[in-house]
Amino acid sequence: MPGVELTGPGLLLRPWQDADAQGALDAFRDPAIAQWNPQGDGLDLTAARRWVRRRADWSNGAHVSLAVADPAAPGTLLGSVSLHRIHDGDASIGYWTVPAARGRGLASAAVTRLTTWAFTELGLYRIELCHAVANPASCRVAERAGYLAEGTLRQSHRYGDGRRHDEHLHARLATD
Ligand SMILES: CC(C)(COP(=O)(O)OP(=O)(O)OC[C@H]1O[C@@H](n2cnc3c(N)ncnc32)[C@H](O)[C@@H]1OP(=O)(O)O)[C@@H](O)C(=O)NCCC(=O)NCCS
């Protein structure tokens, strides 16, 4: 399974590599990613390299993580898309894109592509997607990727500002 590359129009999902560490560090310093995908304070290049290596190592079977790039410039990191908590046909999906790559459908395309692959190749049945109610861009990604809204979770996750936020739960089933 490691070494998987998924493509789509203008989209490349590829394995994480050590050379992504600086790009990941820059991304974690973006205020929106620090808020909605917090990695903790004091992240430096060494910690970013460790993070990238964890993402590249799928050996525990619990996650599948791919870097988002442009097929025309595969070495340039544009984002991240991952399935977490893979167990018994279920998983959760998470994602971010770097500021320069936003607003052109990249996150929606990446989530859609990984989801389709996970249903057909991993045999997953249900994938959940949670985002803070205060993060409407992520809600649009969920909608565009076909994740139906299932309700609001109250004060369900602590985000980068240290506060618990209400979240929307969305999900897609293999049969949707
Ligand atoms: C959320 C995020 C992944 C979206 O990435 P992207 O590549 O811009 O996503 P897309 O271009 O596929 O779609 C973005 C949608 O959000 C909309 N959007 C952007 N900012 C918005 C805002 N402030 N309010 C409402 N909608 C917004 C865009 O208009 C677009 O919707 P549309 O296609 O209907 O016009 C990106 O902004 C990001 O990384 N944010 C910080 C981290 C984060 O929120 N991660 C998700 C945690 S659940």
Check: pTM over 0.85? Answer yes or no: yes
- Separation of CA 31 and ligand 1 centre (Å): 14
Per-residue pLDDT tens over the stretch 19-62: 999 999 999 999 999 999 999 877 899 999 999 999 999 999 99
Q: From the CB of 81, is ligand 1 less than 6 Å away?
A: no
Per-residue pLDDT tens over the stretch 123-151: 999 999 999 999 999 999 999 999 999 99
pLDDT interval class at 1 (50, 70, 90):
low
- Of 13, 140, 153, 165, the residue with max ligand 1 atoms within 8 A of its CB, to mutate for a pocket test, comes to 140
| CB neighbourhood size of 104 (10 A) | 10
- Of 30, 78, 96, the residue with max ligand 1 atoms within 8 A of its CB, to mutate for a pocket test, comes to 96
Q: Which residue segments constitute the domains of the chain, with CATH numbers given?
A: 6-173 (3.40.630.30)
Reduced to 3 states, what is the DSSP secondary structure of residue 142?
A: helix
| CB neighbourhood size of 88 (10 A) | 8
- Enter the tokens of residue 40: 């903790």
Q: Is the pLDDT of residue 175 over 70?
A: yes
- Separation of CA 138 and ligand 1 centre (Å): 5
- Separation of CA 66 and ligand 1 centre (Å): 19
